[in-house]
């Protein structure tokens, strides 16, 4: 859509030229101008981030791949829905979270609980520094909102503002979710460490 | 400002660098003198979250899936709509024109029919006058 990029603004009216987030926006603008290859740059740049986020929410690697693919296909089809508010990365994460929540709703809690009870054997354990517990397992004990907030912060490095925009929360809620997630992880790990010390 | 109790919820925000400078300084001072909060800071930083590494084949699968589903880029439908727009305008214009022509011709036909039914207006007027004069002729009883 030439008119959008020539005018230097998105449909929402926000300017995209000259800001620090230009790289992604320029790539998206090129795609909106008809350069189909430009979209693939975004896929390459954010596939790991989107998969990480979705995997953290669904805890199923195959499903995370599927949802991540659907996330990019949705963005590919509906790129014009990005209105220049927030980052392109945040917009992609928002689509991914919506898709992951749809998947969770579709499969119901039953599937999630089953996954939590039986972690994938192929998964490389991510251990804490203090003891041999599996952080992946600990993450499963968190609510999806706490998990998403923590992952967006600690893995993707989003600011509270970006997380608030992505999740549609007030900024204060972001801090609360992240804090609670950390406290719950800490409690889970302590419990695990206590169990291990009792066994040995 | 000092905290009467340990500001646990603020420590998390402080660690993320999201506190304003003034409050960040207060939290930092508290943590320096509080063993319990130092333990919390250590616990928060003592684990790493699971992270999937970039997968170079993801893009290959993306292309395959896109092509398999025949998903068109976002602009395709709009381009198609723009191309069809003149045709749509022409069809609507032609429809309006034909309705107008039909309406005009039916009006002319109606007028012609009316004229045919009424015949020559001068003759018609004479005929009306003749009928009226007969109608207003006095009855023979009135003459008597």
Cβ distance of A77 and B73 shorter than 8 Å: yes
**pLDDT tens-digit series, residues B24-59:** 999 999 999 999 999 989 888 877 787 888 999 999
- Categorize the per-residue pLDDT at A119 as very low, low, confident or very high, splitting at 50, 70 and 90: very low
Pairwise CA distance, residues B97 & B91, whole Å:
10
Distances (CA, A) of A171 to A163, A178, A185, B16: 8, 11, 22, 13
Contact of B73 with A76, CB cutoff 8 Å: yes
* ipTM for the assembly: 0.73
Contact A176/B65, CB-based, under 8 Å? no
- The residue assigned the tokens 């999937």 is B52
- Residues near A30 by Cβ (< 8 Å), separated by ≥ 6? A5, A38
Structure tokens at B120: 């020559």
Hey, what domains does chain A have and what are their CATH numbers? 1-123 (1.10.1740.10), 124-200 (1.10.10.10)
Mean pLDDT of A118-141: 52
Predicted local distance difference test score (pLDDT) of residue A75: 95
8 A C-beta contact, residue A171 and residue B4 = no
Alpha-carbon torsion A21, A24, A26, A29, what sign?
negative
Measured in whole angstroms, the distance separating CA B97 from the mean position of its chain's CA atoms is 29
What local confidence, expressed as pLDDT, does residue B122 receive? Answer: 75
The backbone torsions φ and ψ at residue B109, rounded to the nearest 5 degrees and listed phi first, read -65, -40
Query: Which residue in A has a C-alpha nearest to residue B8's C-alpha?
Result: A179
A3: distance to nearest CA of chain B, Å? 13
Give the C-alpha separation, A177 to A143, whole Å.
10
CB proximity A183 to B under 8 Å = yes
Please check the confidence at residue B78 and state whether its pLDDT lies above 90: no
Strand partners, A127: A134
Nearest-Å Rg of the Cα atoms of chain B is 48
**What is the pLDDT confidence band of residue A5, given thresholds at 50, 70 and 90?**
very low
Q: Pull the structure tokens for residue A73.
A: 């296909």
* pLDDT digits 0-9 by tens, A158-174: 999 999 988 889 999 99
**Helix axes of B35-44 and A171-199: crossing angle, nearest 10 degrees:** 90
Distance from CA of B99 to the nearest CA of A (A): 37
Q: Are B8 and A175 in contact (CB under 8 A)?
A: no
Interface contacts A/B by beta carbons within 8 Å: 118
pLDDT in tens, A21-62: 678 999 999 998 889 899 999 999 999 999 999 988 888 889
pTM, whole model, 2 decimals?
Answer: 0.64
Q: For the segment B88-126, what is each residue's pLDDT rounded down to a tens digit? A: 899 999 999 999 988 888 777 777 777 776 667 677 778
């Amino acid at each position: 859509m030439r008119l959008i990029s020539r005018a230097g603004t998105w449909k929402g009216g926000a300017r995209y030229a000259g800001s620090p987030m230009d790289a992604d926006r320029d790539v998206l603008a090129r795609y909106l101008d008809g350069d189909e290859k430009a979209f693939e740059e975004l896929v390459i740049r954010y596939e790991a981030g989107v998969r990480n986020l979705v995997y953290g929410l669904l805890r199923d690697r195959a499903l995370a791949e599927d949802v991540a693919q659907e996330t990019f296909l949705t963005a590919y089809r509906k790129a014009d829905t990005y209105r220049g508010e927030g980052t392109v990365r945040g917009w992609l994460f928002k689509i991914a979270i919506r898709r992951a929540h749809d998947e969770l709703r579709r499969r119901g809690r039953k599937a999630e609980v089953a996954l939590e009870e039986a972690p994938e054997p192929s998964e490389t354990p991510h251990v804490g520094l203090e003891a041999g517990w599996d952080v992946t397992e600990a993450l499963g004990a968190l609510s999806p909102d706490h998990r998403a907030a923590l992952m967006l912060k600690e893995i993707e490095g989003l600011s509270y503002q970006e997380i608030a925009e992505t999740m549609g929360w007030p900024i204060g809620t972001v801090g609360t979710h992240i804090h609670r997630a950390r406290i719950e992880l800490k409690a889970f790990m302590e419990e695990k460490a206590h169990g291990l010390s009792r066994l040995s | 400002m000092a905290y009467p109790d340990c500001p646990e919820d603020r420590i998390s925000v402080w660690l993320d660098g999201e506190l304003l400078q003034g409050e960040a300084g207060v939290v930092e001072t508290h943590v320096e003198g509080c063993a319990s909060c130092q333990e919390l800071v250590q616990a928060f930083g003592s684990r790493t979250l699971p992270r999937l590494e970039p997968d170079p084949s993801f893009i290959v699968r993306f292309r395959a899936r896109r092509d398999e589903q025949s998903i068109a880029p976002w602009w395709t439908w709009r381009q198609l709509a723009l191309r069809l727009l003149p045709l749509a305008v022409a069809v609507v214009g032609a429809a309006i024109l034909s309705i107008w022509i039909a309406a005009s011709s039916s009006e002319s036909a109606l007028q012609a029919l009316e004229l045919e039914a009424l015949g020559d207006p001068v003759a018609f007027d004479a005929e009306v006058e003749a009928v009226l004069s007969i109608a207003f002729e006095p009855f023979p009883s009135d003459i008597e």
